[in-house]
Amino acid sequence: MATTRKVVIIGSGPAGYTAAIYAARANLAPLMFTGVQSGGQLMLTTHVENFPGFVDGVLGPDLMETMRKQAERFGTDMIAEDVTGVDFSRRPFVVRAESGTYEADTVVIAVGYSGYFIPEKQQAKHVTITPNCAYPTRTITMTFGQRLEISNQSKFPFAPMIESEVSPAVMMAAPLEMGDPIRLYPRRPGHSAMGDIMQPYVRQDLYVLRYPLHAVSDLNGHYRIDGVPVGKLAIRALHPTVSSEAQAPVDIATNVVAKVDLTLEYAPKAPKVDDTKRTNNIFR
Ligand SMILES: Cc1cc2nc3c(=O)[nH]c(=O)nc-3n(C[C@H](O)[C@H](O)[C@H](O)COP(=O)(O)OP(=O)(O)OC[C@H]3O[C@@H](n4cnc5c(N)ncnc54)[C@H](O)[C@@H]3O)c2cc1C
């Protein structure tokens, strides 16, 4: 076992590098386990618009590279491995990794969160059933973690529900917007059908997206999607009403706008006519 370190930092996202910069500047000679995903989650994104000090935004990988250099400049040692276990039951603490076992007076755990983006409460998705008993669009998109709020301006009662999810109660969107909107909480990301217990003719497609990446620029057949992780992706277009679908692979690189052309085909089939049953009653 090597000599005991004053500080061992686990994780190399923004939190890990911040801890490393502060610890190194305090002459604590930190040892950082960067983990196999060196640089953390921001290595997966393109533009970061909300990091203080970057008026025009900064590319996620560039920002993390800068943080790494700053941590190294003050003397952070780095090991590009995952930690496999920490024993906090004895002092100094014992940190285990593939390359060996390390002792530390202090362990900073900054391993991030790999769950879902949870938007704030006020970012609920609002949909209003119009006075003529229709949804404004056939397709509803939202981000996982958001709730779906539905109000009803029509004269008739609606009871919307997500078909794949058993609801503990029937929730009624009262007519003429009487009362609060109903709230639905999709339990998983993906595509679901929405139906209505009171109005069985109503059908919606609900797309619950895992990440808030659906910044659509316009509705004239040209869409710009921002905030896509770098790497190989598939872009898919689907028109659910006519079941038309197209897909193409795309390589996302930092600071490059990738263009993808997709065409949705729709060829309505002529209805089958059975000649043996054809009659013309008008002339009989
Ligand atoms: C696509 C995408 C876009 C985003 N865009 C923005 C944005 O524009 N603005 C914004 O503010 N936030 C954005 N975020 C969120 C932001 O990336 C996170 O809030 C931030 O990275 C969290 O930092 P962190 O240091 O806590 O953890 P992370 O960045 O998750 O880093 C965790 C680190 O821990 C390491 N690790 C995990 N387990 C171990 C182990 N056992 N041993 C050693 N190391 C380990 C990993 O390798 C990684 O280096 C985005 C996230 C994603 C996925």
In 3D, which of 72, 7, 8 has the Cα closest to residue 39? Answer: 72
156 within 8 A of 132, measured Cβ to Cβ: no
pLDDT higher than 70, residue 115: no
Cβ–ligand 1 contact at 42 (below 6 Å): yes
User: Rounded mean pLDDT of 138-146?
Assistant: 86
Strands (DSSP E) found in the chain = 5-10, 31-33, 47-48, 58-59, 77-79, 83-87, 93-97, 100-109, 125-129, 139-143, 148-152, 160-162, 182-184, 190-196, 204-209, 231-239, 244-252
What distance in angstroms lies between residue 191's CA and the mean position of ligand 1's atoms?
A: 27
Which pLDDT band holds residue 284 (cuts at 50, 70, 90)? very low
Ligand 1 contacts CB of residue 10 (under 6 A) = yes
Is the overall model pTM greater than 0.85, yes or no?
A: no
For the CA of 37, the nearest atom of ligand 1: 47
- The pLDDT tens digits for 185-217 are 998 888 899 999 999 999 999 998 877 665 555
pLDDT of residue 81: 93
Asked whether 78 lines ligand 1 (CB < 6 A), one says no
How many other β-carbons are positioned within 10 Å of the β-carbon of residue 260?
Answer: 15
User: pLDDT tens-digit profile of 35-46?
Assistant: 988 999 899 888
Whole-number Å distance, alpha carbon 187 to ligand 1 midpoint, is 24
Confidence of residue 254 (pLDDT cuts 50, 70, 90): confident
**Comparison of pLDDT for 131 and 230, the residue scoring more:** 131
Q: Mutate which of 8, 12, 41 to test ligand 1's pocket (most atoms within 8 Å of Cβ)? A: 41
User: Ligand 1 centroid to 172 CA: how many Å?
Assistant: 40
pLDDT at 228: 72
Q: Is 30 in the pocket of ligand 1 (CB under 6 A)?
A: no
- Per-residue pLDDT for 280 more than 60? no
Mean pLDDT of the chain: 87
Q: Do the strands 148-152 and 125-129 form a parallel or antiparallel pair, or are they unpaired?
A: parallel
Q: Is 83 in the pocket of ligand 1 (CB under 6 A)?
A: yes
Task: State the distance from the centre of ligand 1 to the C-alpha of 112, rounded, in angstroms.
Answer: 5
Q: Is 61 close to ligand 1, i.e. is its CB under 6 Å away?
A: no
Torsion-angle region of residue 46: left (phi > 0), alpha (psi -120 to 50) or beta? alpha
Query: 103 CB under 6 A from ligand 1?
Result: no
As a whole number of angstroms, the distance between CA 133 and CA 37 comes to 50
Contact between 161 and 187 (Cβ < 8 Å): no
What pLDDT sits at residue 31? 97
Give the atom of ligand 1 at the shortest distance from the alpha carbon of 49: 8
**Closest ligand 1 atom, CA of 97?**
42
Q: Is 279 in the pocket of ligand 1 (CB under 6 A)?
A: no
Is pLDDT of 268 > 70? yes
Place of tokens 């618009």: 49
H-state helical runs in the chain = 14-25, 60-73
> Which pLDDT tens digit goes with each residue over 5-16?
999 999 999 999
**What is the set of domains in the chain, with CATH numbers?**
5-109 (3.50.50.60), 115-212 (2.60.40.420), 214-261 (no CATH)
Look at 7-11, 180-184, 277-281 and tell me which has the smallest mean pLDDT.
277-281
Q: Who wins on pLDDT, 284 or 58?
A: 58
